[in-house]
Structure 1
Amino acid sequence: MSLHEQLYQWTASQGLDATSARRLRALSGVDDPPGDPWTPLRRGAGALAAGLIGFGLILWVAANWDDFGRAMRFGLLQAALAISLIAAAALRPWRAPLALAAFLTLGGLLAFFGQTYQTGADPWQLFALWAALGLPIAWASRSDLAWTPWALVVATGIGLWMETFGGHSWRFDASTVPVHAIGFVAYGLLCAGLALRPGAASQPWAWRLAVLASVIAISGTALGGLIARDVAPQFYLGLGVMGVGLVLAWRHSEVYAMSALALSVDTLLVVGLARWMSKERLDVGGYFLIALVACGLLAGSVTLILGRLRDAEARA
C-alpha cells in the first residue's frame, strides 16, 4: 500500500476535516520535493578521496622511511599539510575533504615530532595540542568531515587527561572525584560547543559523536565506581550528570541525546539494583526481578521519548 493510499484511509477512518487532512499530508512529507542525491554523493566521494590520498601518502612514506633523513621526513609532512591547507582555501568545492586531509596530516606531524624528539609530554597533551591547532581548520571548513574527527580527538584527550591525573590508572575513590568531575564538565562543554557552532543544525554528526563519546565515558566511569569494593562517589556523580543531561535533552526534544542518555540511566539503575541485590544470594526470582525491572525501564523510556517526540511535532 502506497503512502497516498494510507493517508486517504487514515483520513476517512478518523473523519478528519479538510484542514486536518492538509495538516496530516504536510506532516507526512508526501508532497515534499525529492532530495538532491548528488550532494551526499559528492561529500562521500570527497571524504573517500581524502582518506585514500592520506592513506596512500602514509604507505608511500612507510615504504621509503629508511631512505629518508629526519629533515626529509619533516619536510614531507609539512609539505603535505601546507598543500592541503592551500588547496582547501583555493578549491571551495573540495574544501571539506581537503580540510579533513589537513587535520589528519597535522596529527601525524605532531606525533612524529613527539616520537623524534621524545619531549616527554603525556598523550593527552598531544591530543590537546592537536585539537587546539586543528580548531581553525575545522572552523574554516564548516563541515562535519572536519568537525567529527576533531570532536573525537577532543573526547579522547579528555579521557586521557582523566586517566593521567587520576594517578595514571582508572581509580574510583574519593581522591579522584575532582578529576572525574572536571572531566565530566569538559565533556559537557564539548557537546554544548558543538551544538552552538555555526551550521550545527544541518550537520549534526560531530555533535552526535561527541554526545555518544561523552555518554560512554561518563557511564563507564560511573559503572567503575559502582563495581568497586565499596560503591564510589563516581557512581552517584555519573548518574546525576546523566540525569541532568536527560532533562536538558527532554526540554529541547532532542531524540538522539534522549535515547543515549536514557539508555545510560537505565543501565546504571539496573546494574545498581543488581549490586544492591547481590548483597544477598541471588536466586531465580532475583534474576527474574532484575530482568523485569530492566524491561520496564526500557519500555518506559521508549514510550516517554516517543510521546515527547509526538508532542514536539504537534507543536511545530
Structure 2
Amino acid sequence: MKTRLLLLQLSSKHGLDAQQAAQLQRLAGLHEQPHNLSQLVLRGTALLAAGLGGLGLLMWVAANWSELGRMPRFALLQTLLLCSALAASFWPKARPALALLCLLSLGGLLAFFGQTYQTGADTWQLFALWAALGLPLCLGARSDVLWAPWAAIVTAAIALWMDTHLGGRWSALPASQGDELRVQALAFGAVTLMLFLLGPLCRRQTGAGLLTLRFAMGLATAFVSAVALTGLLGAEVMPQYWLGLILGLGAAALVARRSPGFDMAQLSILAFGLNTLLVFGVAHWLSLGNGSLSDDPLRLLLLGAFAALLLAASVSGLMRLARHHAGPIGAAQ
C-alpha cells in the first residue's frame, strides 16, 4: 500500500499522464504475480489445515463426550498438545502452523479441565491462563499466526474480567459511577498495554508484525468504543464516553505522528471508531428532551448531514496524511 501511495505521489509530482503512470506501475511490478506466491499458498494451506485439524479434534471430542471416559479425553487433548509442541520445535518450516495447533489444543485442554473439575474459577481466569501459558509459545514462534489469536484471547479475557467486576452489565449508572469508571479505566489500560507489547517498540523481542498490530488495534477500538457508548445510555453523558473519546484521539495522534511507524490501516480503524462515537454523541444530544429521533425528520436530516460531513472530513484528512508521509516513506525505501 505504501508503494502505491509513493507511485501516486510521483505521478502527481512529475505530471505523468495515464499511460505513463501505468508504465511506472508496471516497472514497479504491481501488475506481476508475486515472486513468492507458491510459498504463500503453501503456508496458507498449512495454517488452514492446522486450524481446521485442531478445531476438528476438539469438535470430535465434544461430539463423543458421553462415550469417552475422563482419561481418554485428557489423553487425546494432552497428546495433541504435546505432539504439536514437539513438532513445532523440530520442524521450523511448519512451526507457525503447528504452533497454532498447539495454541488451540491448549485452550481446549484448559476448557475441558475447567468443565470436568468445576474449579469455581471465573471465565475470564480461564482466558487469562490461556493467554499466559500461550505467551512462551508465541515468543518462540515469533509469527503473526500466533500473535493475532493471542491478541483476541487477551481482549476476551479483559472484556470478561470487566463484565465480572461490573456484575454482568456494562451500562454506566450514576449511583456507582466511580466504581464502574475505575474498573473500565483499568480495562482500557490493559488493552493499551497489549497494544504496546505488540507494537513496534517491542517488535524485536516479540516478533509480532504489522498484521497483528492492525488486528489488535481493531479489537481495542471495538472494545473501547463499545464501553464508551454505554456512557450515552442515560439522560446525562457519563465519563465513560469522554474517556473513550480521549483515548481514541490520543491513539490517532500517536499513529499519525511523523515517523516511519505511520500506518494508514490503523489510522482508518481509529477514524472509524471516532466517527462512531461522535455520531452517537450528536444523536444523543439531538434526542435530549425531544423523544425519539425517528419522530422528527428534520433532526434525522441534521444527523445524516453531520455524519456525511464527518466522513468526508475524515477521508480528506487521511488522504492528506498519506500524501504527507509518502515522502518520508519513499526516502526510507
TM-score (norm 1): 0.88
Q: Provide the rounded CA distance (Å) in 1 between the counterparts of 2:206 and 2:217.
A: 13
Q: Provide the rounded CA distance (Å) in 2 between the counterparts of 1:96 and 1:67.
A: 33
Question: Which amino acid is 1:269 matched to?
Answer: L
The aligned counterpart of 1:243 is 249
Quote the offset at 1:61 in angstroms.
2.7
What SS class does the counterpart of residue 39 from structure 2 fall into?
helix
Decide which moves more: 248-257 or 199-208. Answer: 199-208
Question: Which amino acid is 1:78 matched to?
Answer: Q
Contact 2:225/2:277, CA 8 A, preserved across alignment? yes
Superposed CA offset, 1:110-150 (max 9, x none): 00110011011011100000000001111111111111111
The aligned counterpart of 1:71 is 71
Contact 2:275/2:310, CA 8 A, preserved across alignment? yes
Q: Answer yes or no: is 1:36 the counterpart of 2:36.
A: yes
Contact 2:251/2:270, CA 8 A, preserved across alignment? yes
The aligned counterpart of 2:265 is 256
Q: Answer yes or no: is 1:14 the counterpart of 2:18.
A: no
The aligned counterpart of 1:47 is 47
Q: Provide the rounded CA distance (Å) in 2 between the counterparts of 1:119 and 1:15.
A: 69
Contact 1:46/1:94, CA 8 A, preserved across alignment? yes
Contact 2:181/2:240, CA 8 A, preserved across alignment? yes
Contact 1:81/1:105, CA 8 A, preserved across alignment? yes
**Unaligned 5+ runs, structure 2:** none
What SS class does the counterpart of residue 93 from structure 1 fall into?
helix
The CA RMSD over aligned residues, in Å, is 2.8
The aligned counterpart of 2:170 is 170
The aligned counterpart of 2:239 is 233
Quote the offset at 1:38 in angstroms.
1.8
What SS class does the counterpart of residue 66 from structure 2 fall into?
helix
Q: Provide the rounded CA distance (Å) in 2 between the counterparts of 1:201 and 1:310.
A: 29
Matches within 5 A, 1:1-316: 14=15, 28=25, 30-32=27-29, 34-173=34-173, 174=177, 175-195=179-199, 196-198=202-204, 203-251=209-257, 252-281=261-290, 283-316=296-329
What SS class does the counterpart of residue 198 from structure 1 fall into?
helix
TM-score (norm 2): 0.83
Contact 1:274/1:290, CA 8 A, preserved across alignment? yes
Contact 1:142/1:198, CA 8 A, preserved across alignment? no
Quote the offset at 1:308 in angstroms.
0.6
Superposed CA offset, 1:168-204 (max 9, x none): 3213131300100011111111111111333888832
Contact 1:253/1:308, CA 8 A, preserved across alignment? no
Mark the CA change 1:276 to 1:55 in structure 2 (over 3 Å): closer, same or farther. closer
Q: Provide the rounded CA distance (Å) in 2 between the counterparts of 1:132 and 1:81.
A: 16
Quote the offset at 1:286 in angstroms.
2.1
Identity of aligned residues (%): 40
Question: Which amino acid is 2:193 matched to?
Answer: L
**Higher RCO, Cα 8 Å, sep 6+:** 2
